[in-house]
Structure 1
Amino acid sequence: MQDNKVYRAHVLVLPYPGQGHINPMLQFSKRLASKGLKVTFAITLFISKSFNVPQLSESVQIETISDGCDEGGFAEAESVHAYLKNMEASGSKTLAEIITKHRSSSNPIGCIVYDPFLYWALDVGKKFGLVGAPFFTQPCAVNYVYYLVHRGLLKLPLMETPVSIPGLPLLELQDMPSFIYVQEQYPAYFEMLLNQFSNSDKADFALVNTFYNLEPEVVDSMSKFFPLILTIGPTIPSFYLDNREENDKDYGLNLYKLDTSICTNWLNTKPERSVVYVSFGSLTCLSNEQMKEIAWGLKQSNFYFLWAIRASEESKLPEQFVEEIGDEGLLVKWSPQLEVLSNKALGCFFSHGGWNSTIEAMSLEVPMVVMPKWTDQPMNAKFVEDIWKVGIRVRVDEEDGVVKREEIENCIREVMEGERGREIRNNSKKWRDLAIESVNEGGTTDKNIDEFVSELMN
């Protein structure tokens, strides 16, 4: 149906087709819509056909592009490299078709906000004269390191540590993004991360899912090299921060089937601050030995725990573990993470340290125990423990590379009931207050979004 309402501007938003990329970009789209803009949110045909995709609102509408793997998505491609090439070829063509379709409407698209993993989207937008803005779903510190590597200002392999980078704390090798110190292990991903900046000189803005007070030094340092950086986070549903958006309690587009009542009903029977929530995201794959150490570490801690564990990982649990834990623990295949983190029974989040999980925990005042595995997680863990002081990073056994059950038990105990845990809880409250302040009217995030919208009107 033709939309005859005239909006202040029309923005096309293109996320990388993964849950951790879709969520923050969709939330930003809602924020733009609240400012009077129309948003077209582009998902892949595979996601559209495979999941129950809702109509979000009159102002945020879904359209589809092709990633060249319309029947099976990423699993259909023979490799990471093949998938990215397929998506560039098919995505460029179908993205142009969406822009063309709207050119003769009352609301032509004037701007493209794109995940920089899909850097080619900027080239498509510029052919149509659109304003272009990459949306970085990882923290500014991580983006800055990749940018310096791309520009040749940080030489690899790193020969000396600690590494000194303006705006960042001194970094040991294990504090760097994993692709920096194991480049050869994931060459296609590493190439994708560096390609984020291959045409960034053509962008009009750079949007980052963080808030200024969280990373002021690195934002200022990166601003010297990069187009206008706007911190527009934390991008979590309004209900959990400023509550300015009516009925905005979830992200709205979930690639996993959830029964939220299982988790919330169980949590509601537990005392305040008595439960450890455990989740390692949608991609982390752990060894059988590591899964066993986590399981027994949780049980030995003697705290209640809720563990979101994917079906592909369940077989790695120790025999009889489920029977032994009884009501002490609840295992689910997926969880409504925001509802879990905001529940009064939560005392700690045992996490892989992915950025969405980290910024959600900080925004909801939940202390963390962090076990980073790859990509941005090691640097996030460094900041969680040493800079923001909202959690503890587990230590890996140097002999076999496994985090032992005693280490897991001790870290959980320290956060839940130790002296250091009290300091962590105080810091967690401080960062939640600053997150709310940033998104409130007149806060840095709100001002940055207003600046972005204002520029689109010129």
Structure 2
Amino acid sequence: MFHLESKLEEQEEVTELPPLRVKDLPMINTKEPEKYYELICNFVNKTKASLGVIWNTFEDLESSSLSTLSQQFSTPMFPIGPFHKHFPTNNASSSSSLISQDQNCISWLNNHKPKSVVYVSFGSVASITESEFLEIAWGLVNSNYPFLWVVRPGLIHGHEWIEPLPNGFIENLEGRGYIVKWAPQQEILAHHAIGAFWTHNGWNSTLESICEGVPMICMPCFTDQKVNARYVSHVWRIGLQLENEMERGEIERTIRKVMEDNIEGNEIRDRALKFKEEAKVCLEQGASSCSSLERLVAHILSLETFTFEAS
């Protein structure tokens, strides 16, 4: 009975933060929740005391949230993102990744039709169980769509890499699947062959997908990922969230919904392309992020002048 009540509680809406539910709140698994509360309070107090806040986002994406924050804090706000669009993506040596990127996957993608491949990556921190890994593997296979899957060493509890896969699994794919340890994500998301991104919804990955107009399949693990996934699926409506335990049938159905030519999938793709265009425009001269950057520079210079005169 307690378990059932807990599940029902998780589905309740947080009236102060629509459309979030209790289960979407960015909690950290800890036996000392008061320390998490202290951490959040510290974030809020530091924000109030700061001279300004720089956001890796853009106005057209989060105008409502930015407006609310501006009303609640007297601190100047500067949404100047997407940050990654200011950096080159075609130079492997410029990557900050600790794992070597597999550039061969780009050649593999070159042999596929536009919007035909599912890209799967759960970031550099998240981890999954062996049973979840196998359900994901069979869900991908059963969807009958080509897939590029990043399996980071250490992603699977108790295993170094892809040891849990059955013997002959990769060979039986006959080239329909490509598994790598790490990949040049920005270059992949910009590739014409990518039709969907199955992601953990870290903010960097979410924003990179938005900027390339790639629909998302959301599988958040912790903290802000749950909030991001909820916004992707229910506010921006540019993806679908896997809500239940990892099960190959649900995985297959969700992939098909996003990838196939159907009403829901078409609407998701149309909205994703709209945000891609807005993300591109916001960085142009006179547009929102460019103007915010100019305001930020002027703000910093005014602070330097004040400090100099005061001294």
Give TM-score, length-normalised by structure 2: 0.84
The equivalent position to 1:384 in structure 2, one of 232, 240, 246, is: 232
Q: Distance in 1 between matches of 2:170 and 2:55?
A: 41
Q: 2:216 aligns with which of 343, 356, 368?
A: 368
What is aligned with 2:72?
225
Answering whether residue 172 of structure 2 is matched by residue 357 of structure 1, we say: no
- Cα distance change on mapping 1:159 and 1:322 into 2, 3 Å: closer
**What does the per-residue CA deviation read over 1:192-221, in whole Å, with 9 as the maximum and x for residues that have no partner?**
454323433331101111111111111111
Using the aligned pairs only, state the percent identity: 33
Q: Measure how far apart 1:173 and its partner are.
A: 1.3
Aligned to 2:48, which of 191, 201, 208? 201
Query: Which position in structure 1 is the counterpart of 2:295?
Result: 451
For the residues of structure 2 that align with 1:324 and 1:283, how far apart are their CA atoms? 30
Cα contact 1:279–1:352 (8 A) shared by 2? yes
1:406 aligns with 249
Answering whether residue 259 of structure 2 is matched by residue 416 of structure 1, we say yes
Report the 3-state secondary structure (helix = DSSP H, G, I; strand = E; otherwise coil) of the residue aligned with 2:100.
Answer: coil
Q: Deviations over 1:385-444 (max 9, x none)?
A: 111010000121xxxxx2211111111101000321110110001101111121111111
Partner amino acid, structure 2, of 1:295: A
Count of aligned residue pairs for this structure pair: 285
Asked whether the equivalents of residues 293 and 403 of structure 1 are also in contact (C-alpha less than 8 Å), the reply is yes
Mapped partners of 2:103, 2:48: distance in 1: 47
Counterpart AA for 1:338 = Q
Is the 8 Å Cα contact of residues 89 and 186 (structure 2) preserved in structure 1?
no
Residue in structure 2 matched with residue 290 of structure 1 by the alignment: 132
Q: 1:437 aligns with which of 274, 281, 287?
A: 281
Residue 298 of structure 1 deviates from its aligned partner by 0.2
Aligned to 1:372, the other structure's residue is in SS state coil
Contact 2:240 2:254 in 1 (8 A): yes
Q: Cα–Cα, structure 1 residues 250 and 354, in superposed 2: closer, same or farther, change >3 Å? A: farther
Give 1:254-269 correspondences, 5 Å limit.
254-269=96-111
What are structure 2's unaligned runs of at least 5 residues?
Answer: 1-8, 303-311
Q: CA deviation at 1:288?
A: 1.0
Aligned equivalents of 2:14 and 2:165: distance in 1?
40
Which runs of at least 4 in structure 1 moved beyond 6 Å after TM superposition? Answer: 185-190
Give 1:189 deviation, angstroms.
6.4
1:171 — aligned with what?
20
Residues in 2 aligned to 1:248 and 1:275: alpha-carbon distance in whole angstroms: 20
**Residues 59-458 of structure 1 aligned to structure 2 (within 5 Å):** 161-165=12-16, 168-179=17-28, 182=29, 184=31, 191-226=38-73, 227-238=75-86, 249=90, 252-312=94-154, 313=156, 314-315=161-162, 317-320=164-167, 321-396=169-244, 402-417=245-260, 418-458=262-302
Measured at CA, do residues 367 and 221 of structure 1 come closer, stay the same or move farther in structure 2, by a change above 3 Å? Answer: same
SS at match of 1:237: helix
Q: Which amino acid aligns with 1:273?
A: K
The answer (yes or no) to whether the contact 1:163–1:170 under 8 Å persists in 2 is yes
Segments of 5+ residues of structure 1 without an aligned counterpart are 1-157, 240-246, 397-401
Whole-angstrom distance in 1 between the partners of 2:270 and 2:289: 23
| Counterpart contact for 1:346–1:366, Cα < 8 Å | yes
Q: Is the 8 A contact 1:238 1:249 kept in 2?
A: no
Give the CA RMSD over aligned residues. 2.3
* SS of corresponding position for 1:200: helix
Query: Partner of 2:5 in structure 1?
Result: none
Cα gap change, 1:186 to 1:273, in 2 (>3 Å): farther
- Partner SS for 1:326: coil
- SS of the residue corresponding to residue 214 of structure 2 reads coil
CA contact 1:292–1:316 (8 Å) conserved in 2: no
Q: Which amino acid aligns with 2:19?
A: L
Flag the 1:351–1:185 CA change in 2: closer, same or farther, 3 A.
Answer: farther
Q: CA shift at 1:311, angstroms?
A: 1.5
Q: How far apart are the structure 1 equivalents of 2:10 and 2:289? A: 38
- 1:259/1:200 Cα in 2 relative to 1: closer, same or farther (>3 Å)? closer
The 8 Å contact of residues 102 and 184 in structure 2, kept in 1 or not, is answered as yes
Moved more, 309-318 or 404-413: 309-318
Matching of residues 4-19 of structure 1 within 5 Å = none
Cα deviation, 1:10-34, whole Å, max 9, x if unaligned, reads xxxxxxxxxxxxxxxxxxxxxxxxx
Deviations 1:262-310 (A, max 9, x none): 1111101111111100000000110111111100000000010000111
Structure 1 253/344 Cα, relative in aligned 2: closer, same or farther at 3 Å?
closer
- Within 1, Cα distance between the matches of 2:10 and 2:107? 52
The CA deviation string for residues 93-128 of structure 1, in whole angstroms up to 9 with x for no partner, is: xxxxxxxxxxxxxxxxxxxxxxxxxxxxxxxxxxxx
Alpha-carbon shift at residue 364 of structure 1 (Å): 0.4
